Structures are given as C-alpha cells and as structure tokens.
C-alpha cells in the first residue's frame, strides 16, 4: 500500500510540474483528488485493510493528499501570477499618447434659437414661465375668447384626451394662468411644446414649439407692442432689419396683426428665400382682448396689454436658412453638426 501511495504521489507531482495552464491543473485535481480520483479509490479499499493497520494507511493517504494539494496550490499561484503579468503587459497605457476624444454633443438648432430669443427678452425685463402641456379646454380655448363651436377651434384642431382635457395648441394658456395668479404689471414669455393635428411636411408638424409673450400694465398701447417687436427683430436678425404689421384676426387680441421682417438674405430686394417679396412673416400679435382680461380677473378699464406668439421652428428655419422643418427632427448628425 505504501509503495502504491508513493507512486500516486510522484505521478501527480510530476504531472503538476509539467502542466501548462489552470485547465490542465484542474484535470489533475479531478484525476487524483476527485470523487473518482486515485486517492479516493484507495480510501474506498480501506475495508480490505486490517483494522489495526487502517490508522496508519489513512495517515499515509492524508500525507499523499497534502503533498499533492500543496504542489497544486503552488502551481496555481504561479499560473495566476503569470496571467496577471500578461494582462498588465497587454493593457499597459502609454500616458504620453494623445487621449482618445469623446464625441461630445452640442445644442440643437431649436435650443440655440430659443436661448437667443430668451436672452433678448430677458434683457428687456421679461420673465420666462412654463405651464402644462396637457391642458384644460377652458384655458386652451374658452379663457382665450374661443368658446365651444367657434371657428377658431377648427384652425387649431388638436388632440383631445377627453372633452375637457387637450394637448395644448399654443402656450397662451400659460398667460391666462399667470394673469389669474399675478397682479399687473406682468411681463412674461412662455416657451414650450404645443400640438396640432397637422400633416407632416416641410413647414408643418403635429408637435412643434411656440414662444408666447404677454405684457399687462396701465397705459400699454399698440405703440409699445410695435416698438418691442421691432427691437426684437433687430436683435434677432440684424440691426438693419425693418418690420411691417398687417391687419389680422385673432380671437384673443383686438386689434390684431401679423408681423413681417425684411428678408435678411436679400435685404428686402426680393430673392428665392423670400419668394421675391422682400418680406418674411414671423409672428402674430395684438392688444389683449378686454374680454380675456376680464375673464382672468383683470379690469380692462384700468389695465391694457399686448401679446404675441412666435413659432420657434420658424425662427430657427429662417435664422439658419433651413428649407425643411423635418430636418430638425430626423437626428441626422451630418445635418446637426453644422450648427
């Protein structure tokens, strides 16, 4: 028995010494120390050993196991050390090499245009306010002098959650909410996302952005409106920009107008960009309707004000000479990286 155990020990140690990797080492462990290994088989044969010799044989088996395990543990540590050295050598970083640059993002054309617009109006003393995109029909229509069955509802066909809740068609509801809670003087702009059930094309989208402006105070006139928007146009499109107001109709303002600016591509001479007219329409505006003031809790005999609405995408398209609104939302990096 002693000779057999010594032979098993020497064979195992020899195989361990000749092993090349951890997988080979694991195979040796199974062959000698596993449930069906050679040392385990020796232990199973203990029943054939005389009772007085079993302690001595058991000790010999344990000594052989300990010797094999010690050699195996030493080999395992050596293999692990080599693998670590190889990994460190392969993953060494040369700190003198230029670092790999990450592809950093930048503001979207809409964001650039909005930040510029906000800078202009904040500089004139306006406050930026926001409101809910899912709005009550009352704030979106009725409080803006657009009662049920009014034709203006057809022009602003929207998405209804139910009869009383809609996705807002403009950010004007924010103005009403501010007038209800804040006493004049009021001077705000309300940027945000709005929704209308328009077909997608080069100039329309069911989801777009508006910036609504509102000023309420004593003695506000149409002259204040024109002066404010003329200054905005010069700041946004250039000092030589001229403005023109054309009569229009909006239910929530009276009188109402649409404002054009001279084409900044041709200076008003007429070109392809302005379709030969020399003027480009950019916004709608007017004096706040007395009924809207009264419904919001403001006395129209004491206070007056003006309001305006600007399409953010329209400003971005004009400012950066983009001819298709869909380009703003297709997430094509080749296009967006130009801005």
Q: What does the pLDDT profile of the chain (339 residues) look like in tens digits?
A: 667 777 777 888 888 888 888 888 888 888 877 777 777 777 766 666 667 767 777 777 778 888 888 888 888 888 888 888 888 777 777 778 787 777 777 888 899 899 999 999 999 999 999 999 999 989 988 888 887 776 656 555 678 888 889 899 889 999 999 999 999 999 999 999 999 888 788 777 888 999 999 999 999 999 999 999 999 999 988 888 899 999 998 889 999 999 998 887 777 777 777 778 888 888 999 999 999 999 999 999 999 999 999 999 888 888 887 888 888 888 888 888 887
pLDDT digits (tens, 9 = 90+) for 123-161: 999 999 999 999 998 998 888 888 777 665 655 567 888
Which runs of consecutive H residues, i.e. helices, occur in 19-53?
22-33, 38-44
If phi over 0 gives left and psi between -120 and 50 gives alpha, with beta otherwise, what is residue 255?
beta
The per-residue pLDDT for 36 is: 75
Interatomic CA distance for residues 190 and 33, integer angstroms: 78
Contacts of 159 (CB under 8 A, 6+ apart): 166, 167, 195, 197, 206
Interatomic CA distance for residues 132 and 167, integer angstroms: 9
Instruction: Please report, for residues 116, 210, 261, the alpha-carbon distance to residue 121 in angstroms, rounded to integers and kept in the order given.
Output: 9, 15, 18
The per-residue pLDDT for 49 is: 66
**Multiple choice CATH, 109-336, 3.40.50.300, 3.30.930.10, 3.40.1280.10, 1.25.60.10:** 3.30.930.10
Interatomic CA distance for residues 285 and 254, integer angstroms: 9
Domain ranges of the chain: 2-90, 109-336
The per-residue pLDDT for 198 is: 80
pTM: 0.65
pLDDT digits (tens, 9 = 90+) for 63-119: 888 888 888 888 888 888 888 888 877 777 777 878 777 777 788 889 989 999 999
Interatomic CA distance for residues 49 and 174, integer angstroms: 97
The per-residue pLDDT for 316 is: 87
The per-residue pLDDT for 82 is: 86
């Amino acid at each position: 028995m002693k000779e057999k155990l010594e032979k098993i020990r020497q064979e195992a140690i020899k195989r361990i010494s000749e092993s090349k990797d951890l997988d080979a080492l694991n195979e040796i462990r199974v062959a000698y120390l596993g449930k069906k290994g050679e040392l385990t088989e020796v232990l199973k044969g203990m029943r054939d050993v005389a009772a007085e010799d079993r302690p001595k044989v058991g000790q010999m088996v344990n000594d052989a196991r300990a010797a094999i395990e010690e050699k195996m543990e030493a080999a395992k540590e050596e293999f692990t050390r080599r693998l670590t050295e190889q990994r460190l050598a392969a993953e060494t970083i040369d700190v003198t090499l230029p670092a790999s640059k990450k592809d950093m993002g930048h503001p979207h054309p809409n964001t650039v245009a909005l930040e510029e617009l906000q800078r202009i109006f904040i500089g004139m003393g306006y406050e930026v306010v926001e409101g809910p995109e899912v709005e009550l029909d009352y704030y979106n229509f009725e409080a803006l002098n657009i009662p049920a069955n009014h034709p203006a509802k057809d022009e602003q066909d929207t998405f209804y959650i139910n009869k009383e809740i809609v996705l807002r068609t403009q950010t004007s509801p924010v103005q009403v909410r501010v007038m209800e809670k804040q006493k004049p003087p009021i001077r705000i702009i309300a940027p945000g996302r709005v929704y209308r059930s328009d077909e997608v094309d080069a100039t329309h989208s069911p989801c777009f952005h508006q910036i609504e402006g509102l000023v309420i105070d004593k003695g506000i006139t149409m002259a204040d409106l024109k002066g404010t928007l003329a200054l905005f146009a010069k700041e946004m499109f250039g000092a030589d920009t001229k403005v023109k107001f054309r009569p229009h109709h909006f239910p929530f303002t009276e009188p109402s107008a649409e404002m054009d600016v001279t084409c900044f591509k041709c200076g008003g001479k007429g070109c392809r960009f302005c379709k030969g007219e020399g003027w480009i329409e950019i916004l709608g505006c007017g004096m706040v309707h007395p009924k809207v003031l009264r419904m919001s809790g403001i006395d129209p005999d004491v206070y007056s004000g003006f309001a305006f609405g600007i399409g953010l995408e329209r400003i971005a398209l004009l400012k950066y000479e983009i001819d298709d609104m869909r380009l703003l939302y297709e997430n094509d990096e080749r296009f967006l990286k130009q801005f």
